């Protein structure tokens, strides 16, 4: 085995190399395997052992645990779009904002859909037409759309607002028996600060784009997406809320498993919007077809994290952080952030963090509710680096390279999540003192 220091440098180098390769538009699977190769060379490990017994096993374990979550979430998103319930909901919100401010409606719709159960891994397929339509009305450049989608879905709705239906809010509950409503006052405060910063960020971004004379540009396929979305749904806006409300109610009111709750919401969406479904079988088939890509991209990130954690250098990082002479809630936020950076995936990072940190920090006196909230927020926010699987999906769907869209994503998502985490840690130490 290589020395611990060389192995640590290899870990840092492998994570950095993965980010660079992804930024250069190398596909995630080969890029992550190159990273594993660097881990093997610098740490004196067998590439076969790291890739098969750690990378592949972590990947497979994640798929086994959360496959049905991906399936049901993907179906729900497809049904909500095809029944035009999303369109009805978007129209209702759009009327509140007007044409010039229509883009704010898209951000709000995305946040509510994310909170209501449409997985962030597939949400881009549902909300992209909304952003196209509203950005055209507001005459704003399309390069801001990826940042809008990611910041609206991967910040407060993903990990901060109490009761949310996303994996980052569900995984800690599965490990510790907490509730998705964990640490509600802290969560609400973090959400308000995060949302305020996002509003401030996009207010400036929109103003600068208009001052530079940038406009919305239309191409053939984009025009078709907008026209399809703008069909008259024939459904009242308030009706479109019911499937999402049902999911939240089942999860928080009756502690129903996420997959079953989302499946129930999907069934209700089918009943409410059946008249807009020309072929239910085709809709379900399209929804399931999206599962493969989203699942693999997410699981590959987790697999890479598993390979990293097998190295001596990686294991020293959370141990070193835990030993810092600071409040354990502070060191927990740093260690969980490392898990998010490590995997480049919110749900995967949360799963890794709960595996390696939960029992250690519970034994240090950190209360379960604040542990739940800190891990959820830290792993979500700091996973949105260039190697994030959802980021790749969103950028590809919107037709932009990382170098064109990532600066806006960093500002609107990582910085806003960091502020939310700071609020969470500060209030957590006050309201949930370490025993």
- Taking only the tens place, the pLDDT of each residue in 375-415 is 999 999 888 887 777 787 788 778 887 777 888 999 999 99
8 A C-beta contact, residue 140 and residue 216 = yes
Query: How many degrees, rounded to 5, is the angle at CA 191 between CA 431 and CA 120?
Result: 125
Residue 351 has pLDDT above 80, yes or no: yes
Compute the distance between CA of residue 202 and CA of residue 23 in angstroms, rounded to an integer: 23
Q: What is the Cβ-side half-sphere exposure of residue 326, based on CA atoms within 13 angstroms?
A: 14
Average confidence (pLDDT) over 200-220: 90
In DSSP notation, 104-158 reads HHHHHHHHHHHHHT--TTTHHHHHHHHHHHHHHHHT--GGGHHHHHHHHHHSIII
What percent of the chain has pLDDT above 70? 96
Q: To the nearest whole number, what is the mean pLDDT of the chain?
A: 86
Task: Identify the band that residue 1 occupies on the pLDDT scale cut at 50, 70 and 90.
Answer: very low
Average confidence (pLDDT) over 353-366: 92
8 A C-beta contact, residue 180 and residue 170 = yes
- Phi-psi category of residue 164: left, alpha or beta, with phi > 0 → left and psi -120 to 50 → alpha: beta
**pLDDT for 46-68, tens place per residue?**
999 999 999 999 899 888 887 88
Residues in the chain: 435
pLDDT of residue 197: 97
Tell which wins on pLDDT, 361 or 72.
361
pLDDT of residue 2: 45
Tokens encoding 297: 């991209």
Compute the distance between CA of residue 377 and CA of residue 375 in angstroms, rounded to an integer: 6
Task: Identify the band that residue 220 occupies on the pLDDT scale cut at 50, 70 and 90.
Answer: low
Tell which wins on pLDDT, 248 or 171.
171
8 A C-beta contact, residue 172 and residue 349 = no
8 A C-beta contact, residue 153 and residue 380 = no
Task: Identify the band that residue 227 occupies on the pLDDT scale cut at 50, 70 and 90.
Answer: low
Query: Of the segments 108-117, 164-173, 386-395, which one has the largest average pLDDT value?
Result: 164-173
Residue tagged 């479904």 (tokens): 277
**pLDDT for 84-109, tens place per residue?**
888 887 778 777 887 788 889 889 88
């Amino acid at each position: 085995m290589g020395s611990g220091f060389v192995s640590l440098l290899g870990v840092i180098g492998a994570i950095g190399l993965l980010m660079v390769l992804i930024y250069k538009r190398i596909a995630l699977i080969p890029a992550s395997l190159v990273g594993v190769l660097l881990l093997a060379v610098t740490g004196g490990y067998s590439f076969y052992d790291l890739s098969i017994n750690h990378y592949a096993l972590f990947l497979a374990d994640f798929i086994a645990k959360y496959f049905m979550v991906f399936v049901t979430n993907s179906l729900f998103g497809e049904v909500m779009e095809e029944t035009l319930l999303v369109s009805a909901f978007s129209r209702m919100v759009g009327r509140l904002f007007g044409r010039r401010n229509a883009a704010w409606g898209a951000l709000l719709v995305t946040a509510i859909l994310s909170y209501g159960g449409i997985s962030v891994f597939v949400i881009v397929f549902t909300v992209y037409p909304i952003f196209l339509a509203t950005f055209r009305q507001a005459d704003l450049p399309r390069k801001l759309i990826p940042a809008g989608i990611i910041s609206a879905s991967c910040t407060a709705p993903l990990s901060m607002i109490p009761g949310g239906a996303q994996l980052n809010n569900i995984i800690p509950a599965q490990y510790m028996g907490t509730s998705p409503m964990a640490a509600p006052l802290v969560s609400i405060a973090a959400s308000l600060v995060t949302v305020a910063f996002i509003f401030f960020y996009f207010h400036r971004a929109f103003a600068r784009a208009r001052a530079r004379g940038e406009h919305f540009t239309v191409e053939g396929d984009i025009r078709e997406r907008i026209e399809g979305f703008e069909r008259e749904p024939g459904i009242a806006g308030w009706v479109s809320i019911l499937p999402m409300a049902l999911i939240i109610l089942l999860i928080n009111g009756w502690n129903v498993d996420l997959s079953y709750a989302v499946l129930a919401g999907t069934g209700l969406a089918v009943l409410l919007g059946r008249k807009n479904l020309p072929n239910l079988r085709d809709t379900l088939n399209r929804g399931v077809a999206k599962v493969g890509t989203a699942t693999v991209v997410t699981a590959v990130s987790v697999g890479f994290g598993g390979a990293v954690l097998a190295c001596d250098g990686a294991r020293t990082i959370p141990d070193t952080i835990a030993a810092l002479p600071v409040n354990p809630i502070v060191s927990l936020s740093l260690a969980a952030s490392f898990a998010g950076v490590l995997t480049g995936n919110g749900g995967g990072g949360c799963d890794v963090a709960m595996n390696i940190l939960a029992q250690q920090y519970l034994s240090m006196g950190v209360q379960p509710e604040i542990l739940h909230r800190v891990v959820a927020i830290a792993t979500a926010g700091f996973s949105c680096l260039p190697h994030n699987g959802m980021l790749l999906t969103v950028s590809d769907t919107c037709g932009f390279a990382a170098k064109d869209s990532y600066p806006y994503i960093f500002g609107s998502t990582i910085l806003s999540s960091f502020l939310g985490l700071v609020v969470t840690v500060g209030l957590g130490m006050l309201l949930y003192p370490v025993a």
